[in-house]
Every structure is written in structure tokens, then in C-alpha cells.
């Protein structure tokens, strides 16, 4: 759904997984992560939502910070997945597949395999 008009509670439920997946692609910083989420169609994620999440991931040892100087701008705090973060991403992806399959079975009971055509 372009424009990010999904219910906010859906985004909250998936945001950790989405951020871990973005960081699996490459190390990044908060603003760039927010832009990537928006470009993916999830809408604008406010700093008051994103930065506490990043802090929780860091405190849990799932991401590691490093400071990098910008091109003519201030230094930025980049985050990259740790080995524990990569393992957590695999775990959360598996859980997400199970969860969405369960929702599909309930939401589309008459469709073959539970998926809406």
C-alpha cells in the first residue's frame, strides 16, 4: 500500500524486523533508515519511534555503533548488525512467516492455502 497508510499498530509490530533487515543490507544511520522505511512504502517513521528502537537494539547487543565523519557535515552514528543481530533477524523472519500464515488462514479461510488471490 503506497504512502504508508497502514494502521500504526501494524507498523509497530513489524518495525524491529524491518530495521534489522535494512541493517543486514549494510550499516546505516537513523535518518537513512527512516528514508529506507518510507521508500519501502511503510510511511514516515518519526524519530521518537525510530531512535528509541535503535537504542533498544543496541542495548540488546543486536547492533553495534560506530561514528563516521560525513561529507562536509557532522559525524553520524552508524549501526551494523552483530552476529547476535543476524541470528535474531533469522529468528524474527521465521516467526513473521508463521504469524502472517496464521493471520492469512483466519482472514481468508475460503482461499486455497489461506492466501487471498
| CATH (domain of 83) | 1.10.10.10
Which H/E stretch holds residue 90? helix 83-107
Confidence of residue 112 (pLDDT cuts 50, 70, 90): low
- In a domain, residue 54? The reply is yes
Question: What is the distance, to the nearest Å, from the Cα of residue 12 to the centroid of all Cα atoms in its chain?
Answer: 9
Mean pLDDT of the region 15-26: 98
Q: Write down the pLDDT at residue 93.
A: 98
- In a domain, residue 2? The reply is no
Q: Write down the pLDDT at residue 3.
A: 47
Confidence of residue 113 (pLDDT cuts 50, 70, 90): low
Asked if 96 contacts 49 with a C-beta cutoff of 8 angstroms, the reply is no
| CA pair distance 95, 17, nearest whole angstrom | 10
Which H/E stretch holds residue 58? helix 47-59
Condensed to tens digits (0 to 9), the pLDDT of residues 62-110 reads 999 999 987 778 899 999 999 999 999 999 999 999 999 999 999 998 8
| CA pair distance 111, 102, nearest whole angstrom | 13
- How many domains does the chain contain in total? 1
- In a domain, residue 3? The reply is no
Which residues partner with 64 through β-bridges? 80
Average pLDDT value for the chain: 91
- In a domain, residue 1? The reply is no
How large is the angle between the packed helices 8-25 and 83-107, nearest 10 degrees? 140
Q: Write down the pLDDT at residue 110.
A: 80
- Tell me the percentage of the chain whose pLDDT exceeds 90: 79
Mean pLDDT of the region 24-28: 97
User: What is the three-class DSSP state of 11?
Assistant: helix
- In a domain, residue 61? The reply is yes
For residue 54, give its domain range.
8-114
Model's pTM, two decimal places? 0.86
- In a domain, residue 79? The reply is yes
Q: CA separation (Å) from 97 to 25, 42, 50, 100, 113?
A: 20, 18, 23, 5, 14
Amino acid at each position: 500500500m503506497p504512502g504508508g497508510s497502514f494502521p500504526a499498530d501494524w507498523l509497530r509490530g513489524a518495525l524491529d524486523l524491518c530495521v534489522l533487515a535494512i541493517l543486514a543490507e549494510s550499516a546505516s544511520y537513523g535518518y537513512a533508515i527512516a528514508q529506507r522505511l518510507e521508500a519501502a512504502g511503510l510511511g514516515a517513521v518519526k524519530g521518537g519511534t525510530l531512535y528509541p528502537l535503535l537504542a533498544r537494539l543496541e542495548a540488546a547487543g543486536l547492533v553495534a555503533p560506530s561514528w563516521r565523519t560525513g561529507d562536509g557535515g557532522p559525524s553520524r552514528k552508524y549501526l551494523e548488525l552483530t552476529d547476535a543481530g543476524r541470528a535474531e533477524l533469522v529468528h524474527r523472519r521465521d516467526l513473521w512467516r508463521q504469524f502472517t500464515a496464521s493471520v492469512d488462514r483466519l482472514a481468508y479461510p475460503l482461499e486455497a492455502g489461506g492466501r487471498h488471490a
